[in-house]
Amino acid sequence: MTEALEVLITLKLDDETLDRLRQISPFVKLRVHVADKGKDVPNRVWSNVDVLFTGTALPPTSTKTNVKWIHSMFAGVDNVLDDPFVKANPEIVITSSSGIHVSNIGEYVLGMILALGHRIPRMMQHQTRAEWHDERFKLFMPQELSKSTVGILGYGRIGREVARLCKAFGATVLATKRNVKTPADHRYTLPGTGDAEGEMYDRLYPPEASGFMIKECDFVVITLPITDKTRMSFGKALFNAMKPSAFLINVGRGGIVDENELLTALQEGQIAGAAFDVFATEPLPHDHPLWKAPNLIISPHIAGNMDDYRLKATSVFEDNLRRYLEKQPLLNIVSRELGY
């Protein structure tokens, strides 16, 4: 490459990380302008940008810019795809940091499986009442993971890590995948995690067979992205397919599950319990009936929380910046058609 590449970073990064990015190539001209919104970046800055590494700051629609590639620090990119500027410029390549938090979310899912299966929410209720129940052995009989079937809706990188962890406990793993003929997935993921070759599941199903798969499951884990096809896709029919003894865990995106049907299923004992980290409206309103739903663990969208999130996201961008300069295929290219 013989011309300078103007790279704008709208995130606060430490000096050591910035120096490492600058050292990638003498042709990289790095500019940092920390901002949450595109309007907070001056037009004179936008006018020269070729590459953008950002969280939520995107160019205003009327901005004249040379942006050719946007890398999001987040895994989910619906905010980017829905942005007016991005929609108006379909030629811009979008990449994400998907795959950096598979270890954290995998551990969260495993923790929720064990908590629900071993009746921890019920134990906490009895603890608040200082109650030592006479029927405790029956009341707290566990659903052992080693004897369970775990169904994963969406065999992406998070789903693959969930599968790896569950198989280590001896569980049977079923999963759905958009293209069952290509089980391997060599997109970016953390070393030592996941199932790149597609070998950890016992059976793989197309999304259209989700209900058929769910009938066999003791735990159902949602790891799907939010798209036109997945929005509100887990409704009454799939709740009806679940065993009364089964549990539902959602670490995908809010809006995939019909929350009214979730509430009904919990209140009427149609399912044994659930753990949700994501909701259609966030923050979940304080008066939302789900707060008081029985056997539901609620967490405030923190399953992927980690103290080195930004560092890991920057590592993906750094790798991609090298690839971009060398005209190599980028990691984690987002399909606008699929939404991820």
pLDDT tens digits, 274-309: 999 999 999 999 999 999 999 999 999 999 999 999
Q: Is the pLDDT of residue 183 over 90?
A: yes
CB 90 within 8 A of CB 82: no
Tens of pLDDT along 120-131?
A: 999 999 999 999
* Model confidence pLDDT, tens digit, residues 240-256: 999 999 999 999 999 99
Output the CATH code of domain 5-100+307-325: 3.40.50.720
Q: 189: exposed, middle or buried (C-beta count within 10 Å: 0-12, 13-18, 19+)?
A: buried
Res 96 pLDDT > 90: yes
CB 41 within 8 A of CB 10: yes
pLDDT at 1 over 70: no
What is the structure's pLDDT at 94? 98
Task: Pick the more confident residue, 279 or 187.
Answer: 279
> pTM of the predicted model, to two decimals?
0.91
**pLDDT for 39 beyond 70:** yes
Mean confidence (pLDDT) of the chain: 96
Identify the CA nearest to 223 among candidates 266, 290, 284, 166.
166
The residues spanned by each domain of the chain are 5-100+307-325, 102-298
Distance between CA 225 and CA 220 in Å, rounded?
A: 16
- Strands, E, within the chain: which ranges? 5-9, 28-32, 51-54, 69-72, 93-95, 149-153, 172-176, 203-205, 219-222, 247-250, 273-276, 296-298
Return d(Cα 169, Cα 258) in angstroms, integer.
Answer: 31
Task: Evaluate if residue 189 carries a pLDDT over 90.
Answer: no
Rounded Cα distance, 116 and 129, in Å: 20
Burial annotation 302-321 (CB, 10 A radius, 16+ → b, else e): ebbeeeebbebbbbbbbebb
The pLDDT assigned to 2 comes to 59
Q: Over the stretch 191-207, which tens digit does the pLDDT of each residue have?
A: 899 999 999 999 999 99
Q: Is the peptide bond before 283 cis (omega within 30 degrees of 0)?
A: yes
The CATH fold assigned to 102-298 is: Rossmann fold (3.40.50)
pLDDT digits (tens, 9 = 90+) for 49-88: 999 999 999 999 988 899 999 999 998 898 999 999 999 9
In this predicted structure, the answer to whether residue 157 has a pLDDT above a threshold of 60 is: yes
Once rounded to an integer, what is the mean pLDDT over residues 208-221?
Answer: 98
pLDDT of residue 187: 87
